[in-house]
Each structure stands twice: as structure tokens, then as C-alpha cells.
Amino acid sequence: MSDRHRLLVRGRTFVAVGAGGDISGVGGARGGGTGPDGLFVRDARHLSRWQLTVDGAVPELLAPVGTSSAASDTARCVLVPRGGRQEPPAYTLLREQAVADGAFVESLRIVSNRPVATRVRIALTVDADFTDQFELRADHRTYAKPGAVRTRRALDGEDGVRGVEFGYRRGEWRARTTVTADPAPDAVEETGGGARRLVWTLELDAHDTVEVALRAAASPHGEAESRPPDSPAEAVRQLDALREDLWSGFTLISGWPALADVCARGIADLAVLRVPATGPDGEALSVPGAGVPWFLTLRGRDAALTSLFALPYVPRLAAATLPALAATQATQAVRGAVAQPGKIVHEVRHGELAHFGQVPFGRYYGSVDATPLFLVLLGAYTEQAGDTALARRLEPAARAAVGWMLDHGGLTSRGYLVYRADRGGLAHQNWKDSPGAICSADGSEASGPVMAAGAQGYAYDALCRTAWLARTVWDDPVYADLLAQAAADLRDRFQRDFWMPGQNFPALALDGEGHQVDALASDAGHLLWSGLLDKEYGEAVGRRLLEPDFFSGWGVRTVAAGQPAFHPLSYHRGSVWPHDNALITLGLARYGLHDEARTVARGLVEAATATDGRLPEVLAGYDKGAYPVPVPYPHACALESKSAAAPLALLTAVSGA
């Protein structure tokens, strides 16, 4: 998000407002450096304007309260009418805003600064354009919307107009936003465009205070309108209840106070990032949404990794994520969605463009690693939580996932999990999924089918854990032996084909011809987490990741500096990702490199401490010695579930040291 925005999040709903509390309707392209402002629910913008004027002019911002781009519970600011030194402002305006499930609420207080009666004319211009989030991203595409109709109508109350309703329809698609106020506006005016202006003329006695309560309620397609809370304070109480619910039964014990603080912030963020999902039997679930502003939805890889990081402390996330992923598992091949039987979903979208098939992400399966990570999570959850009932319930889904890895995934035919660029979807389908992310040291891109190193580690771990489930829970020793042998064979092949003796390091990937893609990349640390490498190889990799070209002081870079492929502001070719480093830290601890694990953990904790206790999605890859505070990556998600859960993984790693 841009530093000009204040971000409020509650599950599937978020709002981004300016420092003065306004929504301008300016769309933010992902490549343009700013996120979109507005109220968003289920991938659609339900408020595109929310602009306050006082006596016909935009008031002057005296003070935003709280941080700008970081997510918080409320957005507060202090405003005054514009003027000069000769005459102090006649009144002060205090705005407090909060978000609830499908709703946005504001308390506007007008305080008279005069010893005589004062009249103030307040106007709020509001609009809802119902733009799909994919239209606000920098993909340079336009989307036809034949037959789309927008409507506006005043809402009548007992004493006159009480607000306005904005509607949108396109074929069977319907959406609505309702804006109401207490006291009701004196009038709702047309503006010459789609927006409407709510107007009040307020009479204030000497040093009097008047409050206007404003509420916007969204009704996404197929859902009833949400009931907004009565006030921002009530919305905050609802958020506190969500956090208390997630914290229930959890005690954080750490001899490292700074790490404990970062963990506490992470769990608080995870509570508000949970989004609704449905299980195999239609049961309602609450699972980690990937991130704000662009990915507040179920994504297979993100939900699995977040749940794995949190598993020792908050196992209920895994208990919800597993059936949600099983419920969305592919049962047949769907070409445009990259779906194949047994494959775990990459992303689920609920917006208009997904509904009409104009983007492929309604249920999109362009991920080579979500499927093995589902199996890793199922095995880890069963072992750590002792809950064999879920493993029994999801046995058919787990066997189908293994079947996908062996068949469509490529383990049997190619020896490795393999993916191909998806035209219209993702070019790369491992965690480094941006164009050009899988590259050689000279920066040249991998061609043809790609076999990414990290995904092979996940596949190995998935086979091992599922073999354990087959032996101990499903009572199928024959299947267990088959999977154990497949895992051993994969380990032998990998160390033969991926290891680069000259670098004493594994390749980032193999290309379609089986040639090594030789960039030195952080994915090697994922192999430590998965246990794919022999001890000697693993120790060499772990120590190499702590050398200065890799380790920035804040964390391990995605690509080591000094290679032509490196760029400190590239999304996947030189930046520092907290979740990537969490996996690396767990891997270092697994191979007995406890000093190295603590070094990486310390860098991340210091980075979080320098950024209000919260780890962002990604940091720039600049060296800590060159600049003493972490440099933000300009297009990062302001709030992201994997990064929120990463401190819990650090705690696990260093606690075992």
C-alpha cells in the first residue's frame, strides 16, 4: 500500500482511506507504486468515493493519528477548515473510522471552538463503482462488461431521506452498497456523475459538539447485506473478540522478549486475516487469507505455509485449512484453470470477472507446490496435534494428491514435479511466481517445462509424511512402502541432477532439457526445511546462505548479490521475504546449524522491530550495513499471512536450538 493510505482489515473486507479519511476513487496499479483506495469486499470495490467537505471546501489535515500504511483497527484524524493565522479555526472535525465484516463505519465529531453559536454545512460525496480488483492491477488489460447497469436511489426514512443505495447488475450478477447516516442528511444531491452528495446543515451552540454516525454496508453477489456495527468502537470490540478467539488456549513462552512481541503482533494479524471457506461437507470454516490488498482470499500455498508455521501454537488454523483445501481439490481436468485430478487449488476468487470467466482465477490451479504442501500439512498436523480423525476423513483427498504428484505432476514420467507456463495465467507456478523469477545467474530465463528445486523438497517431505500416515493411521503398509521408496528415489535423483559441484550448491531449477538453472537462490534453504539433502550437503548450503552476498543483515536474499540476475528491488531476484527466511531458519535448525538459525531470526526480529513490530510481505535486498533501517519493497502487501506467521516459525527454530 502507499504511505498515503490507512488500511483497515477484517477478514474478507478491507478499506484503504487517505490520511484525512477520504476515499478518492483513484485506482492503484500494482506496478504503479500505490494500492487502490476504497472499501473492498470479496474482490469488488463497494465504495469508490467517500469525500468530506465543510462549508464547500476540503478541510485541512492537522494530524493523522497512528501509522499510515500499516494495518490498524481504526483510522483517526483531526481536521479544521482552511484559513490563516489571523483567525483561528471556528471548529475542529475529528474522524474515526473502522471496518467490520462487509461494512465500513465512521464517527464524525464537529467541535465548536467559538463562544457563540456557529452554523456548519457538512457534505459527504459517496459513490460505489463495483470495480473488480483485477481491473485495478497493472496488467494493462481491459474487460468488456456487456449489459452492465449501475443504479442509485435515495433511501427514505420516517423523517425524510436517510441515505442512498448504489446497485450494480450484469446478467445474473448483482451487487449493492447502502450508505446511511444518523442523523439523517438534510438532502441527497446529484453531482452530475454517478456520485451522490449527502448534506447536513448543523447548528452548534457555543463550544458545542455534534456527532454524525455514518455507515456503509456491502451486499456482494449472492449474499445478504451485512449489518454494520453501531460505531467504530463496536467494530473494534468485534476485532478484539476475533483475536481473543484465536488466542484461546495459547500461551507464548520465549526467553527472547522482542521475538515474543513480534509473535504476538503476528497472531493478532492472523486473527483479522481469516476469510470464510467451506469444507467437504459444506461446513463453515475460517482460514488464513493470503494478504492485503491484492490477495485477501484462500490461496493454497499461502494457507498451507501459514498453518504450518502456526501449527505448534495455533493448530486450529491447520484444522480449518486442510478440509478447505480438500473441498476445493480438482476432480477433473480443466484446461483454462490448469486443473487436474487430485491437484490442490492455488487461488479462489469471488469477483465479477472470475464469475464470468474473464480471468481464470475463480478456481485456479496454477501451483506446482500447493499439492505437496497440503500433504506436508496433513502429516504434520496429525503428528503434532494427535488428531487422527481428520487424517482418516481426508484420506481420499490425500491419496488423490499423491496420485497427482506421481501422474500429472511428473514424478513418474519426468522424475520431478514439473510445470509449464500458463498462457493467460502464471508463467511460474512455484512460490517465485513472477515473470523472470526462475533464471540463471546471468539473468537469462528458464525455458520450456520447469522443475523448481524447492518444489522437489516439498514433494520429498510429502511422500515421507504420507508414508507415515499410511503406515500408522490408514493401516496400509504396502502403500507406505511404495511412497517411502518413491521418496528415497527422489532424494537420490535430486542430489545427482541438481547439485552444482563447482558452486557446492544446488541449482535453482532444471529447464525443459534437464539443464541446470544455475542462479544461487534462497530456495536451497527450503531443501533444508524438507530434509531432502544429505547432512554434508545440507550443512554446506546452510553456511553458504549466511555469507554476505546472501545475508543482508535483515535476512537471506532471494538471489545472492553479485550475480547479474540480482536486483535489490526485484520481487523475487534479490529481495528478502520473511516467509522464505522462516523456512530457511527451520531448515538450519533441522541440520543442527543453530547459530546460523539464530542469526537469521535475529535479523528478521530487528527488521520487524524497526517496522512497528510487523513483518511485511517482502523487504528490499539492501545491505543492513549500508542503510540502518529496512527498506520497504514498494509494491508489497501491507499485511500478509505468511509473514504474520513467520515469527512463530522463528520461535520454533530457536526454541529447539
Ordered mean pLDDT values, 10 residues apiece, the chain (657 residues): 75 94 71 70 97 96 65 89 82 96 97 94 97 83 93 82 93 97 94 93 96 97 88 94 81 84 94 96 97 94 98 96 98 94 97 94 96 98 97 98 98 97 91 95 94 98 98 98 98 97 98 96 98 98 98 98 96 97 98 98 97 92 93 87 97 84
Give Cα 567 distance to the centre of its chain.
23
Handedness of CA 386, 387, 389, 395 (dihedral sign): negative
Burial class (CB in 10 A: 0-12, 13-18, 19+), 497: middle
Given the DSSP bridges, would you call strands 103-112 and 91-100 parallel, antiparallel or unpaired? antiparallel
**What one-character-per-residue DSSP string does 621-657 give?**
---TTTSSSPPBPTT--SEEHHHHHHHHHHHHHHHT-
Spell out the alpha helix ranges (H) of 413-475: 453-472
The predicted structure's pLDDT at residue 603: 98
Given the DSSP bridges, would you call strands 5-10 and 71-72 parallel, antiparallel or unpaired? parallel
Q: How far apart are CA 324 and CA 123, in angstroms?
A: 45
The single-letter code of the amino acid at 463 is L
Q: Which of 352, 436, 420 is nearest to 131 (CA)?
A: 352
Residues sharing a CB contact under 8 Å with residue 394, sequence separation 6 or more, in sequence order: 322, 323, 326, 378
The span from the first CA to the last CA of the chain, in angstroms, equals 36
CB atoms near residue 469 (< 10 Å) = 25
The predicted structure's pLDDT at residue 65: 67
Residues sharing a CB contact under 8 Å with residue 4, sequence separation 6 or more, in sequence order: 18, 19, 34, 68, 69
Handedness of CA 360, 362, 365, 367 (dihedral sign): positive
CB atoms near residue 426 (< 10 Å) = 20
The predicted structure's pLDDT at residue 652: 96
Burial class (CB in 10 A: 0-12, 13-18, 19+), 585: buried
Residues sharing a CB contact under 8 Å with residue 499, sequence separation 6 or more, in sequence order: 505, 506, 507, 537
Q: Is 110 helix (H, G, I), strand (E, B) or coil?
A: strand
Contact 153, 165 (CB under 8 A): yes
Residues sharing a CB contact under 8 Å with residue 648, sequence separation 6 or more, in sequence order: 263, 266, 267, 309, 310, 312, 313, 314
The predicted structure's pLDDT at residue 441: 97
**Model pTM?**
0.95
Give Cα 626 distance to the centre of its chain.
30
